[in-house]
Chain A
Amino acid sequence: METLNKIRVLVAKPGLDGHDKGAKIVALALRDAGMEVIYSGLHQTLDQIMSTAVQESVDVIGLSIMSGAHLPICEKLTAMIKEQGLDNVHLVVGGVIPNQDVQVLRKMGVAAVFPGGTSFDTIVSGINGLFQ
């Protein structure tokens, strides 16, 4: 029987960069893996992302960041997630992320980092892995 409890993912584009082809394609890959994906659109503020995550009761917030601002954005968002008590919400990040920043992000509390070039399989199994 088909499960009623699906992984819900918010795919969001924070800040100023306007490149959302990657975010949309990842959204489709997650759909094809049986997840329910809420797509936020471009230029989201962190407050918008938080309130969307709460209203949609998502399990995962997936940020797509190409602007180079991934460190400050993730630092703020992990703090906001903690502050609002969303203990069961995992933050994952993809986009243009230099290698040396991956560990920094992980230490901040980002559950998984998927730099450009990561395969869909890796992203899907990475997200599924958060719930096993």
Chain B
Amino acid sequence: MPEKVPDIQPDPPVEIRQILDGDVMAGARLIRCIEAGDPAAAQMLGKLYSHAGNAFVIGITGPPGAGKSTLINSLITMFRKKQFTVGVVAVDPSSRKTGGAVLGDRVRMQAHAGDKGVFIRSMAARGAAGGLARAAKDTCLVLDAMGYEIIIVEPVGSGQADLEITTLVHSLGLVAIPGTGDGIQAVKAGLLEAADLFIVNKTDLPGAASEMMTLEHLVQQRSLEPDTWQPPVVGTCARTGEGVDRLADLFLDHRQFMKDHQVLEKIQTAQAGEYFNTLVRQMVMDRIDPWIDRQVAAFLDTAAQKAAVAADPYQAARKLADRLTRFLAEPDSEVF
């Protein structure tokens, strides 16, 4: 690990106006500050909040190698043809060992690098659970405030445990590839309930038709209330762009459906509530995490307590946890 890290402060401070005007450099820098945990960036987000909420946020999830990035590349082309501006947040895993990351989703999308109507941001997950980076939601907020009309989020490839994505997108596409039994994986994971569109990518591979049929059967078994969205199953070949036009239309159909049935507003309200909860949790944990570490170290400082932990870690942990929570409730009390 480097001792010193780049100081991003010397850059001129970002102004709210610049973000609302869609200034790319200012937006990019604000995202950088958010990732770095800069308190000024958090204040800026608060001011941007009331200006956001106009973008349609789409998630594309699925196992590694399903073709998510390539599919997003084709989707960008389709949405651009329909005159939408597009923001992309592509998350890749960080190395647990070194904290570094190689972010390669962008390679598939470089055709759009020169297009002023497209903003692509790669992001390292930095150990966050659920396939998203901690800064992903706030980055969507920045892109939204900058005026991007459609935002596409690509979480870390998984397909089994990355439901975190549902807390920030309005419409979720699940990508499966022929012959891998992804349909069955979807049932296991609970993604079947969460996905709004099922995409079988690489339709040029054998087994595409049967994969689509499997998914259609599974979707039909999903118990649906009347007047709810029936998730379609769509085949695409992201490499050639085949079927992606239809996919783009289906995402827009889903948005229209949600608007017509007053679902979009409900989702946004629920997600805002959930995010507030997350923010409080994060802020509290950030503050007390180092304190807990210190208390645990202090607890283990005596030979007697060390022996107690060795004999019965469950009971010792319960005892310490009781003391710590009592102290949090009554700060005047003593921990030990």
Interface residues, chain A, CB within 8 Å of chain B?
A: 1-8, 27-28, 30-41, 44-45, 47-48, 51-52, 54-57, 59, 84-85, 88, 128, 131-132
Q: Which residues of A contact B114 (CB under 8 A)?
A: 45, 47-48, 51
Q: How many whole Å from B276's CB to the nearest CB in chain A?
A: 22
Q: Given the interface contacts A4-B36, A34-B1, A59-B6, does A40 sit within 8 Å of B100 by beta carbon?
A: no
Asked whether, in the complex, the Cβ of B102 is within 8 Å of the Cβ of A5, the reply is: no
Q: Given the interface contacts A47-B114, A88-B10, A132-B4, does A39 sit within 8 Å of B99 by beta carbon?
A: no
Q: Which residues of B contact A32 (CB under 8 A)?
A: 95, 97-98, 100
Asked whether, in the complex, the Cβ of B37 is within 8 Å of the Cβ of A39, the reply is: no
Taken together as a complex, chains A and B put the C-alpha atoms of A55 and B109 apart, in Å, by 13
Starting from the known contacts A1-B290, A28-B102, 17 additional A-B residue pairs (CB-CB under 8 Å) come to A2-B99, A4-B37, A8-B32, A36-B124, A39-B106, A40-B107, A41-B110, A45-B114, A47-B113, A51-B114, A54-B24, A54-B25, A57-B29, A57-B31, A57-B32, A88-B6, A128-B2
Q: List 6 A-B residue pairs with CB atoms under 8 Å apart, sorted by A's residue number.
A: A31-B95, A38-B103, A47-B114, A52-B120, A55-B120, A56-B106
Identify the interface centre among A8, A52, A57: most chain B CB within 10 Å of its CB. Answer: A57
Taken together as a complex, chains A and B put the C-alpha atoms of A131 and B104 apart, in Å, by 24
Chain B 1-33: CB-based contact to A (< 8 A → 1; otherwise 0): 111111110110000000000001100110110
Closest 5 pairs between A and B when the two form their complex, measured CB to CB: A41-B107, A31-B100, A48-B113, A57-B28, A57-B32
Q: How many whole Å from B62's CB to the nearest CB in chain A?
A: 21
